Amino acid sequence: MKAKVSDKMLLKMCGDVAKARANFKCEYPNCSINGKQLHPHHYYSKRNANTRYDPDNIIVLCAYHHTLGNEAAHHDPNFKDVIISNFIRTNEWHWNITEKKNKIVKNNQEFKEAWKERLKVLLDIYKRKVYELENKGAGR
């Protein structure tokens, strides 16, 4: 019998994919924080099953821009506008993720298994890209 895919595991995998995609840097405009102390922030709430594990719904932020500062995603009512107006994400991306959010899905074990497989593939792709970028810089 297969072990159940846990919510906690999928959220961690989703965050890992988003961090690798962001090259381990805060995606807030003009922020220079990078490293391992980054937070995956859901553009649309984690409560929405269809976008809960979707890395496209994640913006990688440092602690200040996630929850601590005045400009933080959890405090600034204009955060979503800042993300779009500063070209962190596009209007097209916004409408695509909004469309995904509005679909109805059954959040069951099969749904979680499918996300687990997708996230594994994406994580492998982004880790390879990070590795290639690091090795390009080392060869100079």
Please report the pLDDT score of residue 106 as a whole number. Answer: 85
Angle (CA) 100-103-106 rounded to 5° is 115
Residue 30 inside a domain? The answer is yes
The pLDDT tens digits for 66-95 are 999 888 999 999 999 999 999 999 999 999
In-domain check, residue 125: yes
pTM of structure:
0.84
Torsion angle of C-alpha atoms 70, 53, 90, 82, degrees rounded to 10: -10
Report if residue 71 sits inside a domain. yes
DSSP annotation of 28: S
- Identity at 126, one-letter amino acid code: Y
Q: Which residue has the tokens 């709430």?
A: 45
pLDDT value at residue 2: 66
In a domain, 140, yes or no: no
Residues of the chain predicted below pLDDT 70: 1-2, 137-140
Q: Rounded to an integer, what distance in angstroms lies between the CA atom of residue 130 and that of residue 136?
A: 10
Identify the domain containing residue 61 by its residue range. Answer: 7-135
Residue 139, pLDDT score: 54
Residue 127 domain-assigned? yes
Tally of domains in the chain: 1
Residue with tokens 């979680």, as numbered in its chain: 112
